[in-house]
Amino acid sequence: MIGKTLLHYKILEKLGEGGMGVVYKAEDTKLKRDVAIKFLPRYISTNQDERHRFEIEAQAAAALNHPNIAHIYAIEETESEMFIVMELIEGIELKEKIKESSLNENDVVKISKQIADGLQAAHKKGIVHRDIKSSNIMITESGNVKIMDFGLAKIGKGGLITQVGSTLGTVAYMSPEQTNGEDVDNGTDIWSFGVVIYEMLTGKLPFRGDYDQAIIYSILNKNPQDINNIGCSESLLKVLNNALMKDRDKRYSNISDLLNDLEAEEETTSISREAIAKKIKKLAVLPFSNIINDPQTNFLGFALADQIIGSMAYSKNVLVRPSSSIRKYQDEILDIQKAGSELNVDYVLAGNYLKEADTIRLNIELVELQSEQMIWREPIEIKYKNVFELQDIVSQKVVGGLNVQFSDEEREHMKPETPNNQMAYEFYLRAIAYPYNMEGTKKAIEKLEDAIKLDPAYAPAFMELGSRYNQLSQVGTSTLVAMQKAEDSFLKALQINENLLPALANLGIHYTDIGKHENAHEMLIRALKLNRNNAYLHFALSYHYRYIGFLEESKSEAGIALSIDPGNPRFRSSIITDMFLGNFDEILDTFDLDPESPFTLNYLGEVAFRKGKKELSKKYFEKVLSLEEEIGEYYFASSIIEFMNGNIEKAASFNLQRELENPADSEIFYEIARVYGLLNKTDDCRRALRKSIDRGYISYPSMQNDSFLDQVKQESGIKSLIEKAKEMHEKLKEKLSTHY
């Protein structure tokens, strides 16, 4: 073959060969590049079964486009020769690298993550490699991993391409089900990948023997040799054990879970290696003040701050207060120290601006509160049509001023969305400046719809539209319509930009509220992969877990959120998880998140009531009754007080009024149901409980142990509903992995 030219490929040298074909280095004379070509050996080139198998390899590999998978350029045929043209990988087989030098744990994790990334991409396309082994993995000179040879792939649910009586794949890497000749799925690749990880850690194979049948016996009947004596961390050993479970139902259910554990291991290893935990710096970006107080341009003060906040949300080492927290300072004369103290931050970014004709001028300063030191101050002038670039300019300067590190990935996400129409962008900026009350939200929706008409490809406009419709969906007669519009808007935003962090987070919470829990889980895990140090994302996951009854996981995630951002009043609903875990004393002794809000006061009152401290309970509830414009919380407090006073019917009347408000939140309907249960109103409890479960609240552990339901839970209808919640809860326990 060497020296021959097939079509426009000149064969230069032989690189290797295996059971599925011979590989050569060649020159693509048309595109002037070196490639690898692989085609069947001549002695089987006329065998139709082998040719078909070769076509399957090409189809499988060509469907994949991922940096950790060898890229396929073309499939060609000439005379009796059939071959694929693929990326020429300059590097070394992982098998050879293992022989040449021992890999430390950090190297193993880095290589494993890249293999897992590649397999995840293949599995998402429905492609199972079926022949993962160290000789099928190349390490380039720059350290990048490339998975080779999808020649044994099984595509979707198509037929298994094999010769009768033969087994495919190298025996030592084969899964138990593969050795038994059973059909295979993603679990086979996970097992083989586990063998590769073991091989990297030890330089040996986990299942050994002098001949194939001895190795197969070991795979089916023995544990991996010396697995508990491998000198690696417990978390990496856990990955290895989970990948090499003989029962595939107990093995990792998908490669994403394995990848999540590897990422957690990498993070833990990095922290232990450096022996430090980075302190996340807390920042508030306050609304900028308009120098001339022009009603036509005042909206920019909040809008520009909001844009900077949005870009900073991707920084893993800077915790920036959300726009909702700083909105109250809009149009106020600012006291930076006071605002910083109220927001519990270390740094404040503030300033003023002036818009003249087509130019906007800003004077911005970054202040460290404790020392009152000016870290950075700079005038910025920018064309108004390019004002969206401001967030990128300021974000970079803030990150530099705070002296924190950020990755290329963070940097990429922090870049501003580029609007295609300036007027659309102005409509968007005006919309986000409107307050989150009923009147402000309706005005914002009008502006956002105008923006979208002019620029239907601007993701942030759809994101904000979703948030506004979500606001309208909370109470009223049109909640279901608003909820659907919110969902459609969030999905459109993510269709345009799949990594838009606030859209992922808000859609995750929205899906939780309406009972699409698998979708909610996917959104929130995706968001956490973008920024694991974002406290609000951990809280959102805690919220999601609470609705589906993963109470211990909910408490853990709330704990992470509060460890990153202690005292954040937005995390107040974590009290519900603790209440249903029975942590009454802990709550009454220590809970201090947003302590004067009617929400917190009501739950403190309920916990005191459940604990038997009736006078303390009344004290909390009566404080709620003294507050104005808190309809739902007022009804709840009134119901419990009337119950304690012996006025059952009056208590039921208040609870009914709350139900008639038609809240969208399924957890609130469970709250209504449990009050009916306390009042021994069986029919009313059943009605509210059905609404709660139908809308997605399925926390069976909460229902099972809720003393408010003790008088009614044996009634057949209520018992059946609780069993329904149990069944849905148990199914999610099987499906959802809490690793990320």
Domain topology for 281-414:
Rossmann fold (3.40.50)
CATH number of 418-485: 1.25.40
Both structure tokens of 111: 């290589």
Higher pLDDT, residue 524 or 261: 524
Q: Which of 496, 497, 297 is nearest to 412 (CA)?
A: 497
* Local structure of residue 599 (DSSP, 8 states): H
Confidence of residue 476 (pLDDT cuts 50, 70, 90): low
Rounded Cα–Cα distance for residues 351 and 413 (Å): 25
Burial bucket for residue 363 (CB in 10 Å: 0-12, 13-18, 19+): middle
SS3 for 476-539 is: CCCHHHHHHHHHHHHHHHHHHCCCCHHHHHHHHHHHHHHCCHHHHHHHHHHHHHHCCCCHHHHH
Domain topology for 486-495+504-735:
1.25.40
Does this model's pTM top 0.75?
A: no
β partners of residue 348: 284, 367
Both structure tokens of 318: 């800077």
**Which CATH superfamily does the domain covering 92-274 fall into?**
Transferase(Phosphotransferase) domain 1 (1.10.510.10)
Q: Which amino acid is at 172?
A: A
Instruction: Check if the beta carbon of residue 712 is closer than 8 Å to that of residue 680.
Output: yes
The H or E element that residue 27 is part of is strand 21-28
Is 486-495+504-735 in the same CATH topology as 418-485? yes
Structure confidence at residue 166 (pLDDT): 38
51-85 pLDDT, tens per residue? 677 677 667 777 788 889 988 888 888 877 778 88
Both structure tokens of 589: 């002794």
The H or E element that residue 377 is part of is strand 373-383
Instruction: Check if the beta carbon of residue 555 is closer than 8 Å to that of residue 581.
Output: yes
Residues 6+ apart with CB under 8 A from 659: 669, 672, 688
Instruction: Check if the beta carbon of residue 410 is closer than 8 Å to that of residue 316.
Output: yes
Task: Among 3.10.129.10, 3.30.1330.10, 3.30.200.20, 3.40.50.720, name the CATH number for the domain at 5-86.
Answer: 3.30.200.20
Q: What Cα–Cα distance (Å) separates residue 730 from each residue in 120, 544, 573, 672?
A: 26, 15, 24, 24
Structure confidence at residue 523 (pLDDT): 94
> For tokens 């990048």, what's the residue?
144
Q: Which long-range contacts (CB under 8 A, 24 or more apart) does 119-124 make?
A: 119/147, 119/189, 119/190, 119/193, 119/255, 120/255, 120/256, 120/259, 121/64, 121/66, 121/68, 121/69, 122/60, 122/64, 122/66, 122/69, 122/147, 122/150, 122/153, 122/189, 123/186, 123/189, 123/254, 123/255
Residue 586: how many other CB atoms lie within 10 Å: 12
Structure confidence at residue 164 (pLDDT): 32
Residues 6+ apart with CB under 8 A from 631: 658, 661
Confidence of residue 43 (pLDDT cuts 50, 70, 90): low
- Confidence check: pLDDT of 438 > 70: yes
- For the four alpha carbons of 225, 226, 228 and 233, in that order, the dihedral sign comes to negative
- Mean pLDDT for 431-437 is 87
Q: Which long-range contacts (CB under 8 A, 24 or more apart) does 625-629 make?
A: 627/598
Structure confidence at residue 63 (pLDDT): 77
- Confidence check: pLDDT of 450 > 90: yes
Both structure tokens of 67: 């940096």
616-670 pLDDT, tens per residue? 999 999 999 987 655 678 999 999 999 999 999 999 999 999 998 877 789 999 9
How is the chain split into domains, by residue range?
A: 5-86, 92-274, 281-414, 418-485, 486-495+504-735
